[in-house]
Amino acid sequence: MMSTVLAMAAKDLRLLVRDRGGLFFTLAFPFLVAIFFGSIFSGGSGEPRQLQILVVDEDGSEGSSLFVESLDRSEALSVELSSRVEAVEQVRRGKSVAYVALLPGFGASLSHPFAGSPPRAELGVDPARGAEAGILQGLLTQFAAERLQDAFGDPSGLQENARSGLQAIELSGATGPQAEGLKRLLTEVDRFATTQDTADGQEPRSGGQGGGFKLEPIRIEKASIIVAKNGPPNAYAISFPQGILWGILGCTAAFGLSLVSERTSGTLVRLQSAPIGRGQILLGKALACFFACSVVSVALVIFGTLAFGLAPSSWGKVAVAIACAAMAFSGIMMFLATLGKTERAVSGVAWASLLIMAMLGGGMIPLFVMPGWMQTLSNISPVKWSILAMEGALWRGFGWDEMLLPCVVLLLVGSVGLLLGTKLFRWPNA
């Protein structure tokens, strides 16, 4: 009997695809919402914004504070000093994008590029901000490399560096091609620094020939951070869930209307005269609506991920959120279809109710912009719970326990809608 229900759903989806007007509301408009509002609020996409980071100076040496200063001078960064505990907490709670901790010994290692290990820094970045993490890592390497360059620009410092480096290698008794290569380089550097005129500093090489030796300007260790609650990574993280909701609303209206038109066009009579139950007829319609809602939502999430930097923190939760929202609105669709006799009447009632749900639930104006009393009021709108579940899965980093409330609300709404819709449905002639 499932095959009957599937046949009904397949027929409805085919009809939906053939309906240009319907397709606009179920597909084109949601994409427009997602892209249009996202691009309006994401600010000029051309010039890069300053990346706000927290810096923890655990070294406290002259070298490390010079490094912090050079970070601060950079156009790309805005730096604030902080304690480690505070910094970790800020990033974890989404208040800050990242922190950089300069580990003890940072300054010394930085000014002795050939001795011991490279300067070590710890980087803690909000996992949802992968792009920024990359940029930050690049910037840190760049600054450390510049400090290295400065060292080469100062002949006496360079000579001292080279000698202490040579000493360190001999003391450690290291052998092998890499140690030999380094020794050769340092000897060269020593000779170069001795004969160097003070006026013209020459560009250093970052690596020596032979032995595959490489200088590592900075060693960055990444701290793993579990984000509790964070703000949206960008405007698209707000606009895509909104777009998805508009897609779901479009499907809800389209299928509510198609259910009514089964009655007005007489096809319902034929369905009823087939050897299938009334429940199956309605279930087929609900299922078709569920499919359509899911397909549109998944398409938007994938599109947003590929093209607009949406980075779902959990695909499993995204799937659950979409399924729950689709279920809720399939139920709402069934109920709305009982609210009028003709397509025109149902279309009016359905869009009026759906638009109010969207307005209250953050489908038009994002929830966080609303005043407190309105956010409370928004709890009555299934749109709010759908957006919450979607955002929870996309970037709020909800755990399953936090997903539970919106999902249960949505499933309840869906069940009640389905139940009322089935009970109140006007069969022809009855």
Partner 1 sequence: MIRLAGLTKKFGERFAVRSLDLDVPRGEVFGLLGPNGAGKTTTLSLMMGLLEPDAGVVDIAESGPPTDVGVRRKMGLAPQALALYQELTGRENLRFFGRIQGLSGTQLDERVDHGLEFVGLTPRANDLVAQYSGGMQRRLNLAAAILHEPQVLLLDEPTVGVDPQSRNHIFDNIEALKAQGRTIVYSTHYMEEAERLCDRVGILDQGELLALGGVNELIEAHGGLGVLTITTEAGEVRSIETENPVIALADWNRSELETVRSFEMERPGLERVFLNLTGRTLRDT
**Binder of partner 1 out of 274, 302, 352, 369 (CB under 8 A):** 274
Q: Does 3 bind partner 1 (CB under 8 A)?
A: yes
CB of 7 to partner 1, least distance (A): 4
Q: Does 430 bind partner 1 (CB under 8 A)?
A: yes
Q: Does 21 bind partner 1 (CB under 8 A)?
A: no
Pick the stretch among 39-47, 227-235, 270-278, 331-339 that binds partner 1 (CB under 8 A): 270-278
CB of 277 to partner 1, least distance (A): 6
**Binder of partner 1 out of 277, 316, 348, 399 (CB under 8 A):** 277
Q: Does 8 bind partner 1 (CB under 8 A)?
A: yes
Q: Which is nearer to partner 1, 120 or 285 (CB)?
A: 285
Q: At what angle do helices 29-41 and 278-307 cross, to 10 degrees?
A: 30
Q: Does 2 bind partner 1 (CB under 8 A)?
A: no
Q: Does 14 bind partner 1 (CB under 8 A)?
A: yes
Pick the stretch among 10-18, 44-52, 323-331, 373-381 that binds partner 1 (CB under 8 A): 10-18
**Which one-letter amino acid corresponds to residue 77?**
L
SS (H, E, C) the chain: CHHHHHHHHHHHHHHHHHCHHHHHHHHHHHHHHHHHHHHHHCCCCCCCCCEEEEEEECCCCHHHHHHHHHHHHCCCEEEEECCHHHHHHHHHCCCCCEEEEECCCHHHHHHCCCCCCCCEEEEEECCCCHHHHHHHHHHHHHHHHHHHHHHHHCHHHHHHHHHHHHHHHHHHCCCHHHHHHHHHHHHHHHHHHHCCCCCCCCCCCCCCCCCCCCCCCCEEEEECCCCCCCCCCCHHHHHHHHHHHHHHHHHHHHHHHHHHHHHHCCHHHHHHHCCCCHHHHHHHHHHHHHHHHHHHHHHHHHHHHHHCCCCCCCHHHHHHHHHHHHHHHHHHHHHHCCCCCCHHHHHHHHHHHHHHHHHHHCCCCCHHHCCHHHHHHHHHCHHHHHHHHHHHHHHHCCCHHHHHHHHHHHHHHHHHHHHHHHHHCCCCCC
CB of 267 to partner 1, least distance (A): 5
Q: Which is nearer to partner 1, 270 or 373 (CB)?
A: 270
Q: What's the rounded Cα separation, in Å, for the pair 259 and 114? A: 77
CB of 11 to partner 1, least distance (A): 5
Q: Does 9 bind partner 1 (CB under 8 A)?
A: no
Q: How far apart are the first and last CA of the chain?
A: 25
**Binder of partner 1 out of 197, 270, 371, 372 (CB under 8 A):** 270
Q: Does 18 bind partner 1 (CB under 8 A)?
A: yes
Q: Which is nearer to partner 1, 217 or 284 (CB)?
A: 284
Q: Does 19 bind partner 1 (CB under 8 A)?
A: yes
Query: Are 204 and 149 a contacting pair, CB within 8 Å?
Result: yes
**Binder of partner 1 out of 32, 131, 269, 424 (CB under 8 A):** 269
**Binder of partner 1 out of 48, 130, 210, 428 (CB under 8 A):** 428
Q: Which is nearer to partner 1, 82 or 422 (CB)?
A: 422
Cα separation values, 2 from 255, 256, 276, 386, Å: 20, 21, 11, 28
Residue 138: how many other CB atoms lie within 10 Å: 11
CB of 257 to partner 1, least distance (A): 13
Q: Which of residues 150-179 bind partner 1 (CB under 8 A)?
A: none
Please tell me the count of residues contacting partner 1 according to CB under 8 A: 25
CB of 51 to partner 1, least distance (A): 53
Pick the stretch among 86-94, 139-147, 219-227, 259-267 that binds partner 1 (CB under 8 A): 259-267
Pick the stretch among 62-70, 175-183, 218-226, 272-280 that binds partner 1 (CB under 8 A): 272-280
**Binder of partner 1 out of 215, 235, 276, 365 (CB under 8 A):** 276
Pick the stretch among 9-17, 127-135, 142-150, 337-345 that binds partner 1 (CB under 8 A): 9-17
Q: Does 272 bind partner 1 (CB under 8 A)?
A: yes
**Binder of partner 1 out of 4, 141, 347, 375 (CB under 8 A):** 4
Q: Does 429 bind partner 1 (CB under 8 A)?
A: yes
Q: What residue ranges bind partner 1 (CB under 8 A)? A: 3-4, 7-8, 11, 14-15, 18-19, 265-277, 428-430
